[in-house]
Amino acid sequence: MASIKTIFSGLQSPRQGVGDVKTAIHPRDASGFLSASTFSWCNRLISVGNERQLAPSDIWDLQARKDKTAGDIANLFSVDVVNVMGLSANMNMAWIVPIQVGVTLYLIQQQVGWAIWTGFLALFSILMLSGGVGVFAGKAQRMILTCKDNRMKVINELFGAIQIVKLHGWEEKLTASVTELRRKELDALWLFVKTILVLITSVHTAPVLITVVVFATYAMWMGQLLTVTIVFTTLALFENLQAAFTALPMVFVATIQALVSVKRITFVLDMHETNPDNLVDGVVEDVHQPVVIRISDGEFGWEKESPLFKNLHWSIRQGEFVVVHGAVGSGKSSLCSILLGEMDKYDGNVVVAGRVAYVGQQSWIQNATIRHNILFGRPYDHVRYRKVLDACALSADLSNLPANDRTEIGLRGVTLSGGQKARVSLARACYADADIYILDAPLSAVDAIVAKEIFTKCFQNLLKHKTVVLVTHNPDIIHSSAIHRSFHIQDGSLVEDRPENAGRLPDLSMMSSPTPSRYGFWDGDEDVSIILGRPVCDTVMPSIADPSMLLTPRRQKCAAGQHGQDVLTVDEDRACGRVSQAVVTSYMSAIGGWPAVAAMVGMTLVTEAARLSKDLWLTGWTNQSNSTSSSQNIKVETRYNMTIYAVLVLATCTAMIAQFGTVLVVGLRGSKRLFERMWTGLMASPMRFFDTNPIGRVLNRCGDDVFQCDLMLPMSMAPILSQTAAAVGKVALSVGTIQWMALVLPPLVFVYVKLGSYFIAPLREVNRIKKVTLSPLLTLVSEGVDGAIVIRAFGLDYQRRFYRLHDVAVEKYSAASFASASLNQWFALRVAAISNSIVLVILLGCVVMSSSISAGILGLIVSYGLTIPANLAKLVNLWANLETALIAPERLHEYATLPSEGRRDTPFNLASWPTHGRITYTNVSFRYKPDDPLVLENVSFDVSGGEKIGIVGRTGAGKSSLIMTLFRINDVAAGEIAIDGVDIATIGLKQLRSSLAIIPQNPVLFKGPLRTYMDPFDEFTDDQLWAVLKKVQLTDRIVVSDAKLEQEVDENGENFSVGERQMLCLSRALLHNAKIVMLDEATAAIDHATDKVLQKVIREELKASTVLTIAHRLDTVLDYDRIFVFEQGQLVQNDTPAVLATQQGGIFFDMIAQGGGYAHRFVQL
C-alpha cells in the first residue's frame, strides 16, 4: 500500500516519480511469482486429493448399494464428485479472500480514518444477505440434484433397454417422462439461478456501494477534502477488494454445491449394505462326507415384515447335482440369493464351503470380447478354455462370428442371441473352476439339442465332481437319473421330490476338497482397454497408462487386425482445434440468436459506461477539491458531487444486476433447448449407434455435459463480457489520454493475446480428453452395478479386479485433470512476468506527462493501470474457461445431429392398417453391420392373416434377427417385407412398431406404477387391466399389494421374478390385441404347467391375430399351423408340424426326437 500511495504522491514530481515506480514494481514482481508458484503447488496437492476422492470404490461398492441404480451412481461420479473437486480447486480462496479483505480494509482505514467503519457495516450487511441467500441456494442445489437423479435413473433405464423401447414404439411416451423430469429440474435450476443472481450482484456491487459510503462519510460527516492521493489510493485498494469479491461467488457456489454433494455421497456410503453375516464360509463335517451347503432353521426375505422363507433347512454334500424347480414366483431365484448371501437373513445360519460361481437367470454380459467375458480376469489356459467352449456348445457359434472369440459383443451382449448370452455366462462360470455352481435357469434360452449337449458335456462331464445347484423347468432334467436330488419350492418351503435317492451320491475318490484354483488371478496384465473401451487419449498421458493402452486409433485398428479382433465399440469422437462455427451457431440459436447476444452485449456496455461515468465524475470532483474555494462552497460542491456520484453508483449497480440476470436467463434457455435437441437426436438414432457406443458415453452427455450447459457455461459468459468491456475501457482511456502509449501498450496486449492462444489451445484439447476419459469410467460403473450380484458371487478376487479396473479409469481421468490444472499454472507464471511490464509503461507515462495532465485524470489512469494486467490475465483465463465450457454444447450438438433411423410418421393415410395381418418376405437378406456376414439370407415366405407360425432352430440360427427385420430395428440388406400388401419400408416407424406387438426374450419393466407400464397411453379401464391379469394368472400376485395397480415397479422390474415379468409382457400383448404378435421365447422362464395355461390363453385370445412364436420348448408350437426351421440364417424347413415330424434326418425331426417330453411322444405318434 505504501508503494501505491507513493506513486500517487510522486505524480507531482517526475524525478521522484521514476524512483517510486521502480520501488513499486519490485514487490509486485515478487508477489506475482510467489502467488503463481504457491497455486501451482496447491494444485499438485489438489490433484492428488481429487484422485483420492475418485478412487475409493466405496461409492459403488460391490458389497452394498442394493437400493441405488446405475443412474444414481453415474450421477455421483459425473456431478457430485466433480462438485467436491470444484471445492478443492477453490479452497485456497476460502481462506485467502477473508485475509485479503481484512488487510485491504485496514489499509483503507489508514487513508480515510474511522470512515472505514461505516463501510465495514455496509460490508457486514451485504455478507449477512449473502449468507442468507446461500442457505436458500443450498436448498435449491439439493432440489436440482434430486431432480437430476430422477432424470438420470430414467435415462439409464431407458438406454439400457433401448431395443425394447424401439420395438414397442415407446419413444414418445418415455420422451414425455424425461421432458417432465427435465422441466422439474429446470424449475429447480431457475430457483437456484435467482439465488445466485442475488449472491453475484451483491458481492459485485459491494465494493462500489462501500466506496460511496466511505467517501460520503469522509467528505460530508468528517469534513475532509478528497485529494488525488486519498481518492485514488483508496480506489486502488477498492479495486483490490473488488478482485477479492469477484472470486467470492465462485467460492460460494462451489462450497454450496460441494456441501450438498458431500451429504449425498455420505448418504450413499451410509446406506444399508449386504450383511456379511448372511453367509458363513467354512466346511461342516458330516459323518459320511463333507457338507458344502447347509441352511439351518433359516428365515429370509427382502422385508422383515414379510419373510419369503421360514424354518428353512437344507444341506447339500460335496459333489451333489441338485435341481430346484417350482411355479412362477415361488422363490427359486430368491433361494439362489440366499446361497449367495444377497437376501437378508433374519434367523438361522447359512454355511457355504468353497468358491462359488454363479449364472443368473438373466445373463450379465460385459461390453467386451467373448473371450474377455469368459476369462473374467483369469489368465488364459488354452486347454481348459477349449474344454469349456466345447462343454458349453459355443465352438460352432464362434466359428460363425467374424473374429471368433475376439468378437466384441456390445452393450449387454446386444449382438448375441439370448441362448448365446446364456452360454457365455455359463462358460464364464465353468472357466472359473469353482467348487460350487449355482445356476439359475441357464438352459431356458437354448433349444433342445443344445440343452442336451450342455447337460451331457458340461453338467455330467466338465462339472462331474463339482457341487451343482441347478434351477430349471425342464421336466427331462428334473426326472433325469443323472440328478442326485431334486426339490420343489412350495409355500416358502423346500420339498424333496425323491428322498429315496438321497443316499445315491457320487464317488468322492475322484474329488479334491475345496481348494484355491490352480489357475492364477488377474495380476494387472489383462488388457483393460477392452474392458474400459478404446481410449482415444492414452498417448497424451503415457505415464499412467498400461502399455497395451498406448495405441493411437490407427494403431489400435492394426492391433485389432493382428489379433483378429472384430471391433464393435467405436472410439468416442473427439473434436480437435477450436470449437466449430456450427457449434457456436447452434448455441447462439439455442440462447435466442442475435437478439439475445445484443441484449447481453448491450447490458454489458451500459454497465461499463456507468462504471466509467462514476469514476470520471470522481476524478472531476478531486480536481475541484484541489482548487481554492471557500469552505461554504466546498460543502455545497461536496453535497452536489456526492449526490451525483451516488446516483451513478446506483445506476452501475442496477446495470450489473440487469447484466448478470440477462446472461443467466439466456444461458438457462440455451441449456433447455440444447438438451431437447440432443434428446431428439438420440431417440431418433438407429440401433446401430447404441450397439457401438457404451452406455457410459450417453450417461456422460446426459449428465455432466448437460450440467455444464446448465450452470458452468452461463457463469463463464457473464464475467467474460464484464472483463472484456473493462479491459477495453481502461486501455482506451489510457491510450486516449497519453497518446504515445499507443505505441507501447497495444504490443504488450498483443503479447498477452498471443500467450493466451498458446495456453487456450492445449487446455481445450486436454479438457476434451478429460470429457472422453469420464465415459469409460461411467460405463464401468453402469456395468458393475448391473452385474454386482454376479461379481460378488464369484468372490473377493473378482471384486478386487473391478476395483483395479476402476482405479485405471480414475487415473486416466485424474491425469487429464492434473494436466488442465498444470496448464493454468503455466499461464499464471508467465502472466506474472508480463503484467509488470504493462504497469511499468503506464506508470512511467503518467510520471512523464504529470505536468500537462490533471492530477485527477492521471490518478484514474494509474488506478486503472494497476488493474489492467489482472484484467487481461483474467480475461484470457475466462476465454479459456469459455472454450472449455463450449465443449459441452459441442458434445451435445454431436448427438443432436446424429443420423436418423428413418421417418417416424407415414406420409400417407393408413388409419386402419393392418387389417388382416398377412406377412410376406421376398428374398430378404439381413446383416447387422455393412461388413458383417449375412445373418439372414434370401428368406422368403408368405404367412396368411391369423395363421400361427412356430419358429425354431439352433440358438444363433437367425430367429431373433427375423424380429429385427419385421420391426425395422435395422434395415434389410436386400429384399422386401410387406404386411397386408404394403411395403413396410414406406411405413413410418411409429405406426409400424405400434401396430405390432412383441413379447421379448428378456422382459423389461420400467420404474413407475404398474398401471403405467401396462397402459402407458391411458387407453384402457381398470376392469380391462384386471381381466388380462387374470388371464395370465397374475391377479393373486398383484392384489397382495395395497397399492394394487398403482404399486411401484422397481428399476428393471427387479421386484418381479423373470417369469412374472414375461407374464406381464404377455398381458400387455393381450390388452392391445394387435393383428400381428411376435413371441420371442415369451414363456422360457415359466414352469410347464403355467406355460400350458398361457398357451391356451394365447390361442383363444389371439385367434384372429397372426402369431409368430420363437420357441425352444417344442411343446409350445406343436399345435401351430406351420413350423419355420432356421439354420445358419436360412429358412430350411417350412411345413406343418405333422409333416416335418415325419421327415427323418430333418432338423425338426432331430430336435423333437432329442427334446423329450411331449415333443418326443409326438414323433412316436
Q: Quote the DSSP letter at residue 644.
A: H
* Cell 462504471 -> residue: 611
The distance from CA 611 to its chain's CA centroid, rounded to whole angstroms, is: 44
What is the grid cell recorded at 868?
Answer: 489492467
Cβ atoms of residues 47 and 821 within 8 Å: yes
- Most confident among 94-108, 795-809, 962-976 (mean pLDDT): 962-976
Burial 1018-1045 (b: 16+ CB within 10 A, else e): eeeeeeebbebbebbbbeebbeeeeeeb
Polymer length in residues for the chain: 1165
User: What span, in angstroms and rounded, lies between the C-alpha atoms of 1070 and 1048?
Assistant: 22
H/E run at residue 313 = strand 309-317
Q: Helices 713-737 and 171-216, interaxial angle, to 10°?
A: 40
Is 133 a residue whose pLDDT tops 50?
yes
> What DSSP character marks residue 75?
H
DSSP symbol at 499: G
How much is the CA Rg of the chain, to the nearest whole Å?
Answer: 36
Tell me, which fold does domain 919-1164 have in CATH? Rossmann fold (3.40.50)
Burial class (CB in 10 A: 0-12, 13-18, 19+), 736: exposed
Q: How far apart are CA 691 and CA 689, in angstroms?
A: 5
Q: In what order do the strands lie in the sheet with 974-979?
A: 936-943, 919-926, 974-979, 982-983
What the block records as the C-alpha cell of 565 is: 479382433
**Directed axis angle between helix 631-684 and helix 593-626, to 10°?**
160
Answer for the pair 965, 936: CB distance below 8 angstroms, yes or no. Answer: yes
5-9 contact pairs (CB < 8 A, 24+): 5/111, 5/229, 5/233, 7/843, 7/862, 8/228, 8/229, 8/232, 8/233, 8/859, 8/862, 9/229
Q: What is the pLDDT of residues 561-581, one digit of tens each?
A: 434 444 555 555 555 667 778
Sign of CA dihedral 381, 382, 383, 388: positive
Model pLDDT, residue 633: 63
If you average pLDDT over every residue of the chain, what do you get? 76
Say which residues have a Cβ less than 8 Å from residue 128's Cβ, sequence separation at least 6.
none
Helix or strand (DSSP H, E) at 390:
helix 382-391
Average pLDDT over residues 605-617: 83
pLDDT score of 768: 78
| Kind plus residue range of the DSSP H or E element containing 419 | helix 418-431
Is the model more confident about 875 or about 523? 875
Residue type, 1005: L
> Across the strands, what pairs with 976?
922
Handedness of CA 1118, 1120, 1121, 1123 (dihedral sign): negative
Confidence of residue 940 (pLDDT cuts 50, 70, 90): very high
Check whether 154 has a pLDDT greater than 70.
Answer: yes
Q: Which residue has the higher pLDDT, 539 or 467?
A: 467
If you write DSSP's letter for every residue of 1117-1143 in order, what string do you get?
A: GTTSSEEEEEETTEEEEEE-HHHHTT-
- The average pLDDT across 966-970 equals 88
Q: Which residue carries 405400434 as its cell?
A: 994
> Could you read off the pLDDT of 56-110 as tens digits, one per residue?
455 545 444 455 566 666 667 666 776 776 666 666 666 777 777 778 778 877 7
Query: Which residues make up the CATH 1.20.1560.10 domain(s) of the chain?
Result: 2-272+592-682+697-896
Is the predicted pLDDT of residue 347 greater than 60, yes or no?
yes
Q: Does residue 607 have a pLDDT over 60?
A: yes
User: Are the C-beta atoms of 867 and 652 separated by less than 8 Å?
Assistant: no
Q: DSSP readout, 623-634?
A: HHHHS---HHHH
404 vs 457: which has the higher pLDDT: 457
Q: Which residue would you say has higher pLDDT here, 826 or 46?
A: 826
Asked if the model's pLDDT at residue 239 lies above 90, the reply is no
Q: Is 233 left (phi over 0), alpha (psi -120 to 50) or beta?
A: alpha
Other CB atoms within 10 A of residue 1062 CB:
27
Distance CA 576, CA 466 (A): 55
Q: Where are the beta strands (DSSP E) in 396-492?
A: 436-440, 467-471, 485-490
Query: What's the CA gap between 174 and 181, in Å, rounded?
Result: 11
- CATH number of the domain located at residue range(s) 2-272+592-682+697-896 in this protein: 1.20.1560.10
pLDDT at 324 over 70: yes
Which band of pLDDT confidence, cut at 50, 70 and 90, is reported for residue 943?
very high
Q: Of 610, 641, 619, 609, which Cα lies nearest the Cα of 853?
A: 619
Classify 951 as helix, strand or coil.
Answer: strand
**Residues of CATH 3.40.50.300 domain(s) within the chain?**
919-1164
Please check the confidence at residue 771 and state whether its pLDDT lies above 80.
Answer: no
Contact 657, 894 (CB under 8 A): no
**C-alpha span between 126 and 208 (Å, rounded):** 12
